[in-house]
Amino acid sequence: MQIHKTITAPCNLVTMWQKWTTHQGLLTFFGNDNHIELTPGGAFEIYFLIDNPAGLRGSEGCKVLSYLPHQMLSFSWNAPPHFEQVRASAYKTWVVVLFERVEPNQTRVLLTHLGWPQDPLWLPVYQYFNQAWNVVLHRLAESCKT
């Protein structure tokens, strides 16, 4: 079981890479705040609910797994706070984002979200992210137009 999403956006490859791998870049399309350390094992935390208590704001505890500059980024990913039982399991799925230059000012982003346990408790989380990644990629494309 995997989620696959693709979008081509009006953004050059270097800018697209920066959108996914820097604090300022992520703020343009993903979450309300973040903590990112672009190094294997570094933080990849995106905060959506900044008024919630620590640990319930977003992707706390998620880490950069690997990257190839301007080509690929992978990070661990957790369940949103409203999926309490799944989030409490401490198991994390992972996301792989591939970057492909299409034209000088156009980049294709291929996102794969995988590592889903064969557990019925995880099915609503899978369904949630199958929709949520559409929203994220739409916001990403919109952020490239400004």
Provide the Cα torsion 92, 140, 112, 87; round to 10°.
20
pLDDT in tens, 45-84: 999 878 877 776 788 899 999 999 999 999 999 999 889 8
Distance CA 19, CA 82 (A): 27
Bridge partners for 9 per DSSP = 107
Q: What are the domain boundaries of the chain?
A: 3-144
Report CA-CA distances (Å) from 11 to 83, 85, 112: 34, 39, 20
CATH of region 3-144: 3.30.530.20
Distance CA 25, CA 19 (A): 4
pTM of this prediction? 0.92
User: From first to last of its 146 residues, what are the pLDDT tens digits of the chain?
Assistant: 899 999 999 999 999 999 999 999 999 999 899 999 999 999 999 998 788 777 767 888 999 999 999 999 999 999 998 898 998 888 999 999 999 999 999 999 999 999 999 999 999 999 999 999 999 999 999 999 86
Which element (helix H / strand E) includes 27?
helix 23-27
Query: Three-state DSSP class for 102?
Result: strand
Of 124, 63, 133, 127, residue with least CA distance to 92? 63
Of 60, 27, 57, residue with least CA distance to 45? 60
Collect all residues with Cβ–Cβ distance below 8 Å to 53 and sequence separation of at least 6.
none
Q: Which two tokens stand for residue 88?
A: 């409490």
